[in-house]
Structure 1
């Protein structure tokens, strides 16, 4: 069997390793228990988490044992990495709710159970720590001078770094120690922004347990221009279908830039690299075929094959001028509510296509709204029953956002 290290490297996952040769040898000779942490700062995982989730899946397929660590304890403090300001403090109840949402979502991608993956929550050991004992056992091994050189802390020094957040590296390092002691966890994986936190755990175990453990980080999901992927005008691209519909999720991947197709196919699908290379080498209009396959494959993994087929059908129906899109986001309006007609701005608000009427007026003035495929030029345009075809009306915002108004 091919070493999973080579698979991850070929597909472009691996960014940094603490000991490349040793990690590759370890993964090639035995089943390794490894972990990735997910702080429940929202009630859904998003596209930014998906690279590490895919890496976990590749590792499990190769016979290694994942630990999905929910950060119920670390979320009480908040990771300062990549943040210009202190994270908003969340209540224990909110964190617990978010953690339960994460557990449910992760179970769609990783197989948990006896002799399978492990689900753990660092609240189980962090929330009951004795602070003085923790400082004496753990804090003594960390140099403040060195920690201040970490990128996650350096970028915060100008605006102010709270002592609360300064503890984050110690807490994450302690997680690794706890998982090492409890499950013989030998490897921590994470996004490349977690490098300094991972190093802390590797060194802590070496000092306290006199044993070698390892760390490996993955590329962050960025465009060819270096910008983070997974953001739209309306916010993050979530893995929860109630926050980002399967159709919108599909459309996001269908519309990635040509230059990002190979990276996305490599990191976010299980397609063989031979097929990835073939698809990403397509040029001109043919690259759209590769984007359709990308969108279908990623949507299938996240939402299931049935939803992927519905989203694919809906997108193709729109492309060919059809009005019955299946899984296109839909807003229902009763005939009584429609009456003699409703102005376009009210319709756009009901469909959550605009945050305010002033934004709607701006969009219409700039030609950014179409009804039945035709630009709306009048901000006072009235939508009437005869605008509907088979009780449906398609509204387009910009080039890529479609919404169906259904008359009931």
Structure 2
């Protein structure tokens, strides 16, 4: 049984890099510390990669330490350099709007009361009043250009080109750490392993500028079984905002976790104890077809991000689409989200079952569609149908226009009759 938060983070596989774990442990043992994690508003919502950072911050808060959640009103105007090329800069008005949205998102995952209550900060507060000359004198002088050129992302962009703006991003993020060290006594910055250069840049700046000794800790890059980055689906990024990704689609993204990775995700993204996860994985290995681990993962994460009622609706929809529940009991918003995720299409009232099966992608041709009906493998709203030329009547239209189509046990789609 792990007790110290560092032991727990290690047991969950959440520490990829650290400056000096023994020194950090000793400082934590001496009393609660203040730490920070930053989020740049380069999109209107946080995504699943950011979620790992938020939950790591929450774990540290539960251990008694005090979080600072930084939303980058200034760094978001520039954006951290990407391997693929120069970022497109968003307008100041757009970034300001995204700052407000992301501040609201991160605030839902931490506690604000008590001795170790969280504080949300915006780095625009200290960069905006600063002159260029002061920035170059007070910050820039501490950064040797040869070390900046050696950063992986910079080195990879030298041939294709990198602007001075993106090249200088590390100075801004490092200055954030220095400011939070001075203003709030922050002695730990956490972030993803792809941020390690920026994290250690801040540690070094505090040493050079103030003679302070502080810490950095990076979580690993979360990957799929093939080594590619986790957080993308066929429909795009796994967003936390329900307007960008429905709670049902969010739930489904975790249900589809690979058997070889689901235990890792349970340890890193949920607050189940390591022992609970190990027991759940032992059960999963006995009956992998039941997908108990994936269902628990999806339920835990959807509840954390969207609330228990949305989790229940997603679970009902998952069952109902495959005949294990009553479709008419689903709210229209949940049914619509589920069918859009499954690949719903719009059809006219005159469309026949055969044509709907083709339009929805459940059949490749009219002959294949007719064969599925003749073989008893075609379902409308989970009821077997035998007339390939039927249209969809009033009592078949769920919430006035939706129809669930299924071919066999597992292939589901839907149509919206308009």
Which category describes the TM-score, using the shorter chain as reference length? 0.7 to 0.9
Instruction: Say which SS state the counterpart of residue 42 (structure 1) adopts.
Output: coil
CA distance in 1, matches of 2:417, 2:363: 23
Equivalent position of 1:135 in the other structure: 136
Q: Deviations over 1:98-155 (max 9, x none)?
A: 1111111112111225641010000111122211111111111111111111112122
Q: Is the 8 A contact 1:338 1:384 kept in 2?
A: no
Task: Name which of structure 1's ranges 396-405 and 242-251 shifts more when overlaid on structure 2.
Answer: 396-405
CA distance in 1, matches of 2:322, 2:355: 26
Equivalent position of 2:264 in the other structure: 263
CA distance in 1, matches of 2:239, 2:266: 18
CA distance in 2, matches of 1:9, 1:243: 33
Number of equivalenced pairs:
389
CA distance in 1, matches of 2:127, 2:412: 46
Distance verdict in 2 for CA 1:298–1:4, change over 3 Å: same
Equivalent position of 1:76 in the other structure: 77
Please give the residue correspondences for 1:182-201 in structure 2 after superposition, counting only pairs within 5 Å.
182-201=183-202
Q: Deviations over 1:282-334 (max 9, x none)?
A: 224355011111111111111111211221122122233546172644189xx
Unaligned runs of 5+ in 2: 340-345, 373-377, 384-388
1:56 Cα deviation after fit: 0.7
CA distance in 1, matches of 2:409, 2:147: 49
Q: Is the 8 A contact 1:4 1:27 kept in 2?
A: no
Please give the residue correspondences for 1:116-265 in structure 2 after superposition, counting only pairs within 5 Å.
116-265=117-266
Instruction: Say which SS state the counterpart of residue 186 (structure 1) adopts.
Output: strand
Q: Is the 8 A contact 1:173 1:197 kept in 2?
A: yes
Q: Work out whether 1:384 is the aligned partner of 2:392.
A: yes
Q: Deviations over 1:371-399 (max 9, x none)?
A: 7379xxxxxx9963379265541146999
Q: Work out whether 1:318 is the aligned partner of 2:327.
A: no
CA distance in 2, matches of 1:98, 1:289: 37
CA distance in 1, matches of 2:279, 2:13: 16
341, 356, 373: which one pairs with 2:350?
Answer: 341
CA distance in 1, matches of 2:411, 2:40: 31
Q: CA RMSD in A?
A: 3.4
Equivalent position of 2:311 in the other structure: 308
CA distance in 1, matches of 2:89, 2:355: 36
CA distance in 2, matches of 1:47, 1:383: 41
Instruction: Say which SS state the counterpart of residue 34 (structure 1) adopts.
Output: strand
Q: Is the 8 A contact 1:16 1:216 kept in 2?
A: yes
Q: Work out whether 1:393 is the aligned partner of 2:403.
A: yes
1:6 Cα deviation after fit: 0.9
1:338 Cα deviation after fit: 7.5
Distance verdict in 2 for CA 1:202–1:347, change over 3 Å: farther
Could you say which structure has the larger radius of gyration? 2
Equivalent position of 1:330 in the other structure: 336
Unaligned runs of 5+ in 1: 349-356, 375-380
Distance verdict in 2 for CA 1:403–1:106, change over 3 Å: farther
Task: Name which of structure 1's ranges 362-371 and 119-128 shifts more when overlaid on structure 2.
Answer: 362-371
1:158 Cα deviation after fit: 2.4
CA distance in 2, matches of 1:163, 1:47: 30
Q: Is the 8 A contact 2:362 2:411 kept in 1?
A: no
Equivalent position of 1:47 in the other structure: 48
TM-score by length of 1: 0.85
